[in-house]
Amino acid sequence: MTTKPSEFVKLLERIPQGGEVAFIPIVENGKEPDTPVKIKDNLEKIKLTASEALRRLQRGQNVGIYAFPGGLCFVDVDRPDIVDLSEFPETFTVKTRNGGFQLYYLNTGVERNFILKKDGEKIGELRANWQYVLVPGSHVPPDGEAFDGATGVYEVVRDAEIRPLDFSVVKRFIEEDKKGEEEKAERKVHSSGFTNHFGISLEAILKVDEKLAELLSDLQPAGYPSRSEADMAAIDKLWYWGFDESTIRDILRQYRAYEKTERDDYLDHTIEKAITSFVGERFNPVRKPQLFLKLCKIQEGLSKGAMSGVREENSENKGKIQGDVNDVRDVRVSHYFKAIEVDPFSRYKVYSNVDIPDIHDHSVEITPNGENSNLTPDMEVEISAEFFDEKGKFIAKRLADKIMSQVKFVTLTDTSEVWYYDAKKGIWRPNGEVIIEKLCEEYLGEEANRYRVNEVIGHIQRSTYVDRSIFDRNINLIAVENGVLNLQTGELLPFSPDYYLTVKIPVKYNPEADCPKIKQFLKEILHEEDIPVIFELFGFCLYRRYFIHKAFMFVGSGRNGKSTLINLLKAFLGPWNVSNIPLQSLNDNRFAAAELYGKLANTFADLSNEALTSTGIFKVLTGEDTIDAERKFKNPFKFTNYAKLIFSCNQLPLSYDDTDAFFARWIIINFPNQFLENADRNLIQKLTTEEELSGLLNLALIGLWRLMENGDFSKGISIEEARELYLRMSDPVAAFVMDCIEIDSDSYVPKKDLYTTFLEYCRKNKLPTVSENTFHKRLIRHVNVEDYRPKVGGKRVTAWKGIRLKEPEPEVLEEEGFFVCSRCGTRFLTEEEAVDHIEQAREWPEICQPKQDVEEEVIDLTGFMKGDEP
């Protein structure tokens, strides 16, 4: 456990009698709230009592404490190298995880949070209203900005009374920028005037988009690890709603005001990054007419100032909109309503909880771009009667039917994504909207526009809805280059849309093919008994069920073939069928699991040894359980994963999960050899020829059939063996305990001696070392010991009682032309004789007892002169 609950008790003793504080749960080893709900709206439900907060810290979890005008506030000093604590009034003070300081004060009525600066450089913050800090006793690993001596633990360094805040002292560090304040005030005055390019105000949008409202009212809402990530999410939302970059900049400075959003360079970089990575289509009134009408009603007429850009020739169209729409004066939106002959708002009196996804209502016909109205320009191109009526009105259904006669489409009911059948590839593929757009462009030519294309897409969507489960329903079939392969029988079938296959591998099925180069490659990089397991793994990846709940970890130092084997797997399955999500991200990133949907494997080479703090999603993905998936700005969906999890690393990541369910899921493949010279740079090209891959497919099929027959991989070990193997390869302390320590209730080992022995063990076995403090913390996880302070050489030393060091295994040493047993000192003429002796000693220990130190007799020859006889 890395937290220190005793530090929290010091705070509890200093909180004034009757003082109101709010403790909240914080994730283990992190700063983010450990709750999925918005804290501001649910504080009374989620805040902790002092006892509950203490219990969290005792379990190794963190706790936060909020600042309020009527409660506490905190001066958070990040730069102790610039400002000294003596510059602030003495009060209860905590050293932070990076070596900074947090001074606790009674809030004397300050309602704003402030950035604190000295000589133009930021030194910290005053957190006074709806911001929190971690309580003493919490733990977060130090980062790259840590000062010397930082331990990650929030520790009390001044156990003093919590005093009232003297704001005049703090004010010296608040550098007011007059120009900046005027700009802020200007933005504040005009905040109600933020409008997008449809003329819709931000104020109206915030009434229907609760997520955006949350992002603009809370600097770090639940679910966002940092303010920067919340900034990105807010930009994504604003861009979706049609705000331009300049307006987004002003909105962020108005609604998400803190140090970073005052910097032009930060806003430029963050806005550009968010826009270039934006996924999906921006808000389109034609695609979502009901939502658009509601927004206009909420706004109750757009700003009259928007009329300044209206051209005079459009003035004749005033009055075309009926009912409440007469209040809408902006031509950017008015043409959407010109054909409506009744009050379009009469049926929409409730505006909260509006469903943001696409909405369509057949009872209201909206004709975009002013067709059949005075806003429609004269057509210079003759319109084909096939897709237009006698008055020149576009009939979207006619073009939709035409396109569907050429290409097969389906639309998924949970996300409204359109898929199409690629007859050339023999599989179903996503992004059917792109195919529809292309065909609309071909048929309509100059008459194609976004509104007509969207109408066609809408018709096709509504007439082709299917459940997601229709895809890949027959798990025995997979598309290959020359047909559809039945994995159970080896039969090759012709391509057909009726199979609803979405997966195809870039390999031809040839039952006569062989792969001599691949077989030789595997012999060079693996133990012989692991080669059949690899062929089983390749076959397992082809099968779209995770019927054996195993993940693979390839382990070994660099240049040993791990990455080449993973690249061979990608080439075999097709890179488009493989996702690349690190093991740690599967649990930490809520969007990561969605990347595995429809993939045959998830691989990641050179995994970091960052500890696994949570393994729940990992178990779900490998256990054939249904998982809730989410993609940015798209509807969530559910799926059962069949992408096999395969990773490689030099050292296994340490896991906080000590359950059988975790260790039982791993098959660890060791890569024992290193290839430091004469590396073949073209090896992967030689291994992935058409003939080699076809031969590999045959061996993969045999491996799959063996799996189906046996129900498990050829390399089967017990859960306890898997636990020991994983611990040994992930934690050098665990390996040291297994190899070098024995339980003995009457014995003890001085802590310094034990750590020195550990360092020598790691050096000899080429394992990473850890600090002495970390070593002792991890040791107590693996063995039951107690603190002991015996006298050694007349002095008290710290020791661990209950263990002793094992006698080291004997080894053969070469001394003065002899081969010597390191334990008993017996000399042999040949190395073979010495090795035989050590082997026999394992069965008969009495023949190899540790050699005793013997004082050699020293003969004084100084009395003999040259030539004298002794």
Torsion of CA 138, 142, 143, 144, to 10 degrees: 150
- Verify that 678 and 781 share a domain, yes or no: no
Instruction: Provide the residue type at 163 as one letter.
Output: R
> For residue 489, is it within any domain?
no
Q: How does pLDDT run across 350-403, given as a tens digit for each residue? A: 333 333 333 233 233 333 333 333 223 332 333 356 888 877 888 999 999 999
Question: Among 28, 221, 59, 227, which residue's Cα sits nearest to residue 141?
Answer: 28
> For residue 497, is it within any domain?
no
> For residue 347, is it within any domain?
no
Q: Yes or no: say if 434 and 281 are a contact pair by the CB < 8 Å rule.
A: no
| Stretch 506-516: mean pLDDT | 95
- Verify that 625 and 650 share a domain, yes or no: yes
> For residue 626, is it within any domain?
yes
Q: Yes or no: say if 440 and 448 are a contact pair by the CB < 8 Å rule.
A: yes
Compute how many other C-beta atoms are within 10 angstroms of the C-beta atom of residue 528: 8
Q: What is the pLDDT of residue 488?
A: 92
Domain that holds residue 62: 5-171
Q: What is the pLDDT of residue 847?
A: 82
Q: What is the pLDDT of residue 223?
A: 66
Q: Which of 204-213, 311-320, 618-627, 696-705 has the lowest mean pLDDT?
A: 311-320
> Does 435 have pLDDT greater than 60?
yes
Who has greater pLDDT, 31 or 632? Answer: 31
Compute the distance between CA of residue 603 and CA of residue 550 in angstroms, rounded to an integer.
Answer: 14
Compute the distance between CA of residue 322 and CA of residue 332 in angstroms, rounded to an integer.
Answer: 17
> Does 855 have pLDDT greater than 60?
no
Torsion of CA 532, 518, 643, 29, to 10 degrees: 90
Who has greater pLDDT, 708 or 613? Answer: 708
Torsion of CA 618, 624, 626, 632, to 10 degrees: 50
| Stretch 11-22: mean pLDDT | 80
Number of separate helices (H) and strands (E) present in the chain:
28, 32
> For residue 215, is it within any domain?
yes
Q: Which of 39-43, 346-350, 467-471 has the lowest mean pLDDT?
A: 346-350
Residue 581 has what DSSP assignment?
A: -
- Verify that 15 and 107 share a domain, yes or no: yes
> Helix H segments across 623-689?
660-663, 683-687
Q: What is the pLDDT of residue 704?
A: 96
The distance from CA 788 to its chain's CA centroid, rounded to whole angstroms, is 43
Q: What is the pLDDT of residue 385?
A: 64
Matching residue, tokens 């409202």: 213
Compute the distance between CA of residue 338 and CA of residue 320 in angstroms, rounded to an integer.
Answer: 6
Q: How does pLDDT run across 447-506, given as a tens digit for each residue? A: 888 888 999 999 999 999 999 999 999 999 999 999 999 999 999 999 999 999 999 999
> Does 304 have pLDDT greater than 70?
no
Tell whether the torsion through CA atoms of 65, 66, 67 and 69 is positive or negative.
Answer: negative
Which of 190-204, 471-485, 705-719 tops mean pLDDT?
A: 471-485
H/E segment holding residue 429: strand 427-429
Q: What is the pLDDT of residue 257?
A: 84
Show which of 125, 148, 171 is a domain's final residue. 171
Provide the CB-side half-sphere exposure for 69 (13 A, CA).
4
| Stretch 279-299: mean pLDDT | 79
DSSP track, 278-341: --SPPP-TTTSHHHHHHHHHHHTS--GGGGGG--GGGGGGTT-S-GGGGG---HHHHTTSTT--
Who has greater pLDDT, 632 or 494? Answer: 494
Total number of domains in the chain: 6
Q: How confident is the model at residue 18 (pLDDT cuts 50, 70, 90)?
A: low
> For residue 447, is it within any domain?
yes
- Verify that 167 and 115 share a domain, yes or no: yes
Q: How confident is the model at residue 852 (pLDDT cuts 50, 70, 90)?
A: low
Show which of 139, 171, 203 is a domain's final residue. 171
| Stretch 634-647: mean pLDDT | 88
Tally of residues, the chain: 870
Q: How does pLDDT run across 87-101, given as a tens digit for each residue? A: 899 999 999 999 999
Q: How confident is the model at residue 688 (pLDDT cuts 50, 70, 90)?
A: very high
Show which of 674, 702, 724 is a domain's final residue. 724
Who has greater pLDDT, 51 or 700? Answer: 700
φ, ψ of residue 792 to 5 degrees: the values are -125, 115
Compute the distance between CA of residue 607 and CA of residue 325 in angstroms, rounded to an integer.
Answer: 59
- Verify that 521 and 662 share a domain, yes or no: yes
- Contacts of 798 by beta carbon, 8 Å cutoff, 6+ apart: 750, 751, 752, 787, 788, 789
> Does 331 have pLDDT greater than 50?
no
Measured distance between the N- and C-terminal CA atoms of the chain, rounded to whole angstroms: 70
Q: What is the pLDDT of residue 862?
A: 41
What value, to the nearest 5°, has the Cα angle with vertex 497 and ends 494 and 501? 85
Q: How does pLDDT run across 468-483, given as a tens digit for each residue? A: 999 999 999 999 999 9
| Stretch 619-648: mean pLDDT | 87
- Verify that 14 and 151 share a domain, yes or no: yes
Question: Among 232, 304, 281, 220, which residue's Cα sits nearest to residue 30?
Answer: 220
> For residue 302, is it within any domain?
no
Who has greater pLDDT, 587 or 8? Answer: 8
Token pair recorded at residue 641: 């994963």
Compute the distance between CA of residue 481 and CA of residue 497 in angstroms, rounded to an integer.
Answer: 15
Q: Which of 189-198, 268-277, 725-734 has the lowest mean pLDDT?
A: 189-198
The Cα-based distances of 4 to 63, 200, 598, 696 in angstroms read 11, 52, 45, 55
Q: What is the pLDDT of residue 632?
A: 67
Q: What is the pLDDT of residue 332?
A: 43
- Verify that 799 and 812 share a domain, yes or no: no
- Verify that 801 and 816 share a domain, yes or no: no
Compute the distance between CA of residue 236 and CA of residue 632 in angstroms, rounded to an integer.
Answer: 9
- Verify that 154 and 198 share a domain, yes or no: no
Q: What is the pLDDT of residue 175?
A: 66
| Stretch 518-535: mean pLDDT | 93
Q: What is the pLDDT of residue 180?
A: 45
- Verify that 784 and 816 share a domain, yes or no: no
- Verify that 855 and 784 share a domain, yes or no: no
Q: What is the mean pLDDT of the chain?
A: 81
| Stretch 622-627: mean pLDDT | 90
Question: Among 369, 290, 372, which residue's Cα sits nearest to residue 335?
Answer: 369
Q: How confident is the model at residue 143 (pLDDT cuts 50, 70, 90)?
A: confident
> For residue 478, is it within any domain?
no
Q: How confident is the model at residue 339 (pLDDT cuts 50, 70, 90)?
A: very low
The Cα-based distances of 277 to 248, 270, 594 in angstroms read 16, 11, 17
Any idea what the CATH number is for the domain that residue 796 is in?
1.10.10.10
- Verify that 682 and 700 share a domain, yes or no: yes
Q: What is the pLDDT of residue 119?
A: 84
DSSP track, 752-777: HHHHHHHHHHHHHHT-----HHHHHH
